[in-house]
A and B are shown apart, each in its own frame.
Chain A
Amino acid sequence: MSALDDLFAGVNEQGRGALIGYLPAGYPTVDGSIELLTAMVEAGCDLVEVGVPYSDPVLDGPTIQAAADEALRAGFRLRDVFRTVEAVSAAGGRAVVMTYFNPVLRYGVDAFSRDLAAAGGLGLITPDLIPDEAELWLEASTAHGLDRTFLVAPSSSEERIASTVAATSGFVYATAVMGVTGARDVVGVGAQTLVSRVRAHTSLPVGVGLGVRSGEQAAQVAGFADAVIVGSAFVTAAATGVDAVRALTAELAEGVRRTPAPIG
């Protein structure tokens, strides 16, 4: 059992959804992001996704693009992600890294995996890497005991869902809507349909991301998914400060524990 398997088993026993919060490393600075991520852990995130700021984030909306730009301008270097993960782990948190694949490729897929595992990281989420192209990562993740989260989308065929979840470990990332990251008023009924389609192919936990920003939405999503993934809303809160991040975490953590109301 991986650490993520333990996490989801524990959350499941409590009869609630898991809360997964995303923040880019290095935003607004490396030390600043460590403080924010640690606050997210303390205030109730079951898992944090440490993002790698990247020059060409094609799956990200304006909020995360702007944060990545700011982190890069502030001098973020790829190796800073390991220090960030290490700090989160030392604070008792659990962390995976979410990254576009080119920085990993450039660092060396095996070297990146080795250094991430050494820092206490649990796995990678790879938004622009499909299992078809992931040979190096499949080998390195096995060698270093890391979990592999691949994404599925409403447009994924049954065959692609099946092959994607077969290559996945830890949890499956279901993108709630067709589009880029960013807080939305309505997460969409499509997410529930997608989760059902994924469950037909796997018993792995399924997390839903893209668009969640409130306790209300978190409660709805937790009604049908194993984890609620929140990104842009945390980045927006981070721009205000650590108190806003704590408050948002608390609201979302309460949401994933609420008895769900049906999606209307």
Chain B
Amino acid sequence: MSPRDPETEQEADVDPHAPGPHDPDARGHFGPYGGRFMPEALIGALDELSAEYDKARLDPEFTTEFTRLLRDYAGRPSLLTEAPRFAEHAGGARVFLKREDLNHTGSHKINNVLGQALLTKRMGKKRVIAETGAGQHGVATATACALMGLDCVVYMGEVDTERQALNVARMKLLGAEVIPVKSGSRTLKDAINEALRDWVTNVDTTHYLLGTAAGGHPFPIMVRNFHKIIGIEARAQILDQVERLPDAVVACVGGGSNAIGIFHGFLDDPGVRLVGIEPGGKGVDSGEHGATLGHGTPGILHGAMSYLLQDEDGQTTEAYSISAGLDYPGVGPEHSALKDAGRAEYRAATDAEAMHAFRLLSRTEGIIPAIESAHALAGALELGRELGPDGLVVVNLSGRGDKDMDTAAKYFGFYEGS
């Protein structure tokens, strides 16, 4: 596909909801990935959701309301901020930050949540369930449910309720019930398992508001489209500010929703490298990491075929990251397809590299990123050095770091000797 000419770009090119060549097939397959590896009991609900979403994405009443909420409630468009002092550490390349941290609730998660909450109302369902890792998706879901008068139950791994106690309090204040999940590894993966068990029991009344671009069809395409606004805005903003496209767009990848959202703004610009940064944990050779695309193999988890961290018997293995939002052993199926096609590249940043970037951005730009997003920043430092002084990098700063203060204070020893 030839690069688009910014001068002649049509409105239709930037409608995030319009069906297009990057959609999966009718059964949700991105090449060999995606699909519906789900219990039959949930297929009816997935069919209902697909039908409702297919109608809604073409319905101006829905898309107008969604766009209005993004603007008047979430605060879009989010800024694109140049980070020159940070960039001095990135080989002199210019670095721009897509400021999803400035959205209401503090991360990109609000985009998807507002879209799915609107769909929930269209389907006449009154109860929403969600999983959360770091708590950002749980907080965003609780927020949208408060806004729209929906009952909200959030499943959260017990380990994460301890790591992210502040977000648990936020969800409760917003009126959500938070259920600590004590099974399995007691993190995000098990929270999703428990949410699926709830859904199969209460599917008549309940929408499962999945927080990432993974799971059975139609979740990967639907969540992606609700986040495409990130990439559409970023592309227009970088053209406006620098008058050229970036050399690379960088985003962290756990399940992959913020990355797929920003990547899609540049997918048809072949000169723009799309770089996903996975959690390298204690190092990808240590076995303690969450680098699914870099070190996994294709398999099934939570309803879709995709790359997966698994052992030789097909048992899911536990992911590790200092970031509660990235330690997921699966990944959205479209990322697997982009990896195989060579259109996107995936690297890892370790805990130490991410925490270095976390502190560096705080001290050079006065912006405290989420530890998840700090992985993307670490990737940007590396890419900037590779690209050199002529390089131009856009980083998706997917969330703010307030929730990570306790983790950071422990990591940097701020609690010691005070």
Contacts and interface: CB of A to CB of B under 8 A. Distances in A.
Contacts of A160: 40, 43-44
A130 B43 contact: yes
Nearest to A60: B197
Contacts of B41: 59, 151, 153-156, 175, 178
Q: How large is the interface on B (under 10, 10 to 19, 20 to 34, 35 or more residues)?
A: 35 or more
B244 interface: no
Interface stretch (A1-9, A103-111, A240-248): A103-111
Given A106-B299, A157-B44, A101 B315 contact: no
A156 B310 contact: no
B37 A128 contact: yes
Interface stretch (A50-58, A216-224, A227-235): A50-58
Contacts, number: 115
A116 B308 CA distance: 25
Interface string A101-138: 11111110000000000000000000111101100000
B196 interface: yes
A151 B44 CA distance: 13
Interface residues of A, number: 41
Interface string A26-68: 0000000000000000000000000000111111011001000
B40 A58 contact: no
Interface in B180-229: 183-184, 189, 193, 196-197, 200-204
Contacts of A54: 314-315
B37 A103 contact: no
A148 to B, nearest CB: 13
A82 to B, nearest CB: 13
Give the most central of A103, A127, A160: most B CB within 10 Å.
A103
A78 interface: yes
A72 interface: yes
B35 interface: yes
B301 interface: yes
A107 B40 contact: no
Interface string B293-317: 0000001111100001010111111
B315 A59 contact: no
A78 B311 CA distance: 11
Contact of A56 (B35, B45, B201, B301): B301
A152 interface: yes
Contact of A127 (B39, B44, B203, B301): B39
B220 to A, nearest CB: 15
Contacts of B299: 102, 105-106
Contacts of A78: 313-314
A78 B41 CA distance: 26
Contacts of B316: 55-56, 102
Interface in A144-201: 150-157, 160, 164, 175, 178-180
A220 to B, nearest CB: 22
Contact of B36 (A105, A130, A153, A155): A130
B27 interface: yes
Give the most central of B36, B40, B44, B316: most A CB within 10 Å.
B40
B174 interface: no
A160 B42 CA distance: 12
B40 A151 contact: yes
Interface in B36-56: 36-45, 47
The 9 closest A-B pairs by CB, nearest first: A106-B314, A153-B41, A103-B314, A78-B313, A179-B201, A155-B44, A102-B300, A58-B196, A55-B315
14 contacts: A55-B315, A55-B317, A56-B184, A56-B301, A78-B314, A101-B300, A102-B301, A128-B38, A132-B35, A133-B35, A151-B41, A153-B44, A175-B41, A178-B41
Interface of B: 27, 35-45, 47, 183-184, 189, 193, 196-197, 200-204, 299-303, 308, 310, 312-317
Given A107-B313, A133-B37, 15 more contacts: A54-B314, A56-B189, A56-B302, A58-B302, A69-B184, A102-B301, A102-B314, A128-B38, A130-B38, A132-B36, A151-B41, A153-B44, A156-B41, A160-B44, A175-B40
